[in-house]
Amino acid sequence: MTASRVLVLNSGSSSVKYQLLDMRDNSRTAAGLVERIGERTSRLKHTPLAAGSGSREWNGPIADHDAALKAVAEELAKDGLGLDSPELAAIGHRVVHGGQTFTRPTVIDDAVLAEIERLIPVAPLHNPANLTGIRTARALRPDLPQVAVFDTAFHTTMPESAARYAIDVETADAHRIRRYGFHGTSHAYVSRATAELLGRAPEEVNVIVLHLGNGASASAVRGGVCVDTSMGLTPLEGLVMGTRSGDTDPAVIFHLARVGKMSIDEIDTLLNKRSGLVGLCGDNDMREIRRRIDEGDARAKLAFDIYVHRLKKYIGAYCAVLGRVDAVAFTAGVGENSAEVRAAAVAGLETLGLAVDDALNAVRGDEPRLISPPDARVAVGVVPTDEELEIAAQTYALVERTN
Ligand code: AMP
């Protein structure tokens, strides 16, 4: 029997998300989530997708990631595909920060673990949790290839002119301060899928990808290669997000510290957790914001307008960066579902060759689709992202190659 399945693990500080995929046909065998790890009210939700049966839920204390992964392994085993299954080819781990070191998916060994650990100062929230997940999985299946797929990797091709901040070079380098970008797995997948939607090779097309979820980022992709992206040293830079401010004058921070007497941690929380849509109007769900706008709520309308204004600025900027744009792709929760955001983001950009067809834009669905008028100079599309499939595919391709 050939091992054709890949388990994708996304380990957060108190959660583990997972999917088991079959790479023979890219189908999903199972998916699930363990949340509130370390609390008394932990919860495991497991959905055996291939079996077609309903989800199973377990509530109770799950002490740590080790216990969480063992519980996941038990659930998978109930479907006949436990961690010891000979059908399992590899485990693919989502790792948020690969710095400048990791430009592609990498088979994990002790040296790779040490390097991910060395990068903790630039990803203090994410890399420790990712490392815990990797160590736990390795302890459970030391013989199985485990691959790290980095959120930053797709952006390592950015030229220095896009990747560097204009601050003192020695200071920046001493602290590894540069623009790394995130959501790279999604930008890679969606830019490729957009080329496919146009029936062209990725090398031939220039694409602006707008990943608009709770976190949001834009990227400029020339011939399959990322040349700019909106997130920077951390995911705080760029677009207006659910709870993050995106771009602000850095002097806002000095002002809040000196005049507002806020601590650095308080400002960090303000800009990352209490800003963006939630800071502007109290809601970070675009559905709720649209509902409030329909009821005449002025704060919700202002939040929507600021969100769209920033988005438009990035679309314009990336048209300039790319010179020639073949397609603009909307993806993630807001990008895939909000026809209003898509229409508003390209409204008035006809001189850049951008327009949406209202009827096409209103169509809902899970498949990649074009929403621009047939004669448009630039194709505008809705291209659903699939980060788990991309992690599984990159993991499987690497394991196949090294076998
Ligand atoms: P993600 O981070 O990609 O899961 O996206 C989550 C966000 O997508 C939510 O916070 C909502 O703002 C947005 N979203 C999800 N479904 C819809 C929808 N039907 N219409 C508008 N926005 C949606």
For the chain, 403 residues long, give each residue's pLDDT as a single digit of tens.
589 999 999 998 899 999 999 999 999 999 999 999 999 999 999 999 877 778 999 999 999 988 999 999 999 999 888 888 999 999 999 999 999 999 999 999 999 999 999 999 988 888 999 999 999 999 989 999 999 999 999 999 999 999 999 999 999 999 999 999 999 999 999 999 999 999 999 999 999 999 999 999 999 999 999 999 999 999 999 999 999 999 999 999 999 999 999 999 999 999 999 999 999 999 999 999 999 999 999 999 999 999 999 999 999 999 999 999 999 999 999 999 999 999 999 999 999 999 999 999 999 999 999 999 999 999 999 999 999 999 999 999 999 887 7
Expressed in angstroms and rounded, the spacing between residue 176 Cα and the centre of ligand 1 is 33
- Ligand 1 pocket test: which of 33, 286, 294, 308 has the largest number of ligand atoms within 8 Å of its C-beta? 286
> For residues 356 and 288, what is the distance between their CA atoms, to the nearest angstrom?
24
CA 172, 177, 178, 179 dihedral sign is negative
Q: Would the CATH topology of 5-150 be identical to that of 200-387?
A: yes
Q: Which residues pair with 222 in a beta bridge?
A: 206, 225
Domain range annotation of the chain: 5-150, 200-387
User: Is residue 109 within 8 Å of residue 138, measured between CB atoms?
Assistant: no
Pocket of ligand 1 (CB under 6 A): 213-214, 242, 284-287, 332-334, 337-338
Ligand 1 pocket, mutate which of 186, 280, 334 (most atoms under 8 A from CB): 334
- One CATH from 3.30.420.40, 3.30.1490.20, 3.40.50.2300, 3.20.20.140 for 200-387: 3.30.420.40
Q: Which protein residue's CA is at the shortest distance from atom 18 of ligand 1?
A: 337
Dihedral angle over CA of 230, 236, 241, 245, nearest 10? -110
Cα–Cα distance, 59 to 45 (Å, whole number): 9
Question: Active-site residue among 79, 151, 228, 386?
Answer: 151
Distance 170 CA to ligand 1 centre (A): 41
Look at residue 2 in the predicted model and tell me its pLDDT: 80
Determine which residue's CA is closest to atom 8 belonging to ligand 1. Answer: 333
Structure token pair of residue 188: 């890679």
Does residue 79 have an active-site annotation?
no
Question: Which residue matches tokens 């109930």?
Answer: 78
pTM of the complete model? 0.95
Architecture per CATH, domain 5-150, reads as 2-Layer Sandwich (3.30)
H-only helix segments in 82-203 = 110-118, 127-140, 160-163, 169-174, 184-197
